[in-house]
Amino acid sequence: RVLRSSRAEFHGKQVYIIRHAEGQHNVSFQFDFDPPLTKVGRQQVQHQHEISKTLDVDVVVVSPLRRTLQTAAGLFPGHTNMVAFEEIRETLTESCNLRRPVEDAMKDFPHVDFHLIEIGKDKALERFADYSEAKAFNFDIDCSSPESVREIHERCEKTLKFIASRPEKKIAIVSHAAFLAEFMEVCQAREQASRYLENCEIRMIQFRA
């Protein structure tokens, strides 16, 4: 599915937005910390790889959460230009949208460039009043200070600036349902498409004068 945007940041670019495959939180409705993909999710990645391998993207920009990293690794195996970018993480609502310390992700995904992610614990933990070290990152709680639409749109604008700053022409963004919905809104690129992408769905955004 092709969407079109008049945002100048897309000029000369082909941007593919991709939602992560099915995660454990999508089926259990328990929002434990940074959940991985399910078996079905891994199968979705295998199926969509038949499409993603034809895209010939120059760079893969990926959210630093486990489910997006797993999705990106499966859709673009062996890609040598994969960059983790904090601004495209999921909106802060539940604990499933928190990430592990970046040092742990670096061990599991050594092919991903994490230099843009701050070392140490996820700063978003500060928005969860019930967080405790004793819980050892295994918990299911709602965010006590969820992100506002304004904050999310600020992240979308930062993402657009990042896209424009990249020298690459064909860019894949592996992110999350709620963030990508707001991203399409900011880009004015929804047209007749559904607001939310399905798990592992791929859409392309092109510049429209």
- Residue 25: how many CB atoms within 10 A of its CB? 21
pLDDT of residue 34: 86
| Average pLDDT, integer, range 71-81 | 98
List all residues 6 or more positions away from 50 whose beta carbon is below 8 Å from its beta carbon: none
CATH of 2-207, one of 3.40.50.1240, 3.40.250.10, 1.10.8.50, 2.40.37.10: 3.40.50.1240
Q: Structure pTM?
A: 0.90
Q: What is the mean pLDDT of the chain?
A: 88
pLDDT above 90 (res 74): yes
Burial class (CB within 10 angstroms; exposed 0-12, middle 13-18, buried 19+) of 149: exposed
pLDDT above 90 (res 93): no
pLDDT digits (tens, 9 = 90+) for 153-188: 999 999 999 999 999 999 999 999 999 999 999 998
pLDDT digits (tens, 9 = 90+) for 51-65: 999 999 999 999 999
- Return the higher-pLDDT residue of 118 and 41: 41
pLDDT above 50 (res 88): yes
pLDDT digits (tens, 9 = 90+) for 121-153: 777 777 666 655 434 455 555 556 678 899 999
Q: Spell out the domain ranges in the chain.
A: 2-207
- Return the higher-pLDDT residue of 123 and 100: 100
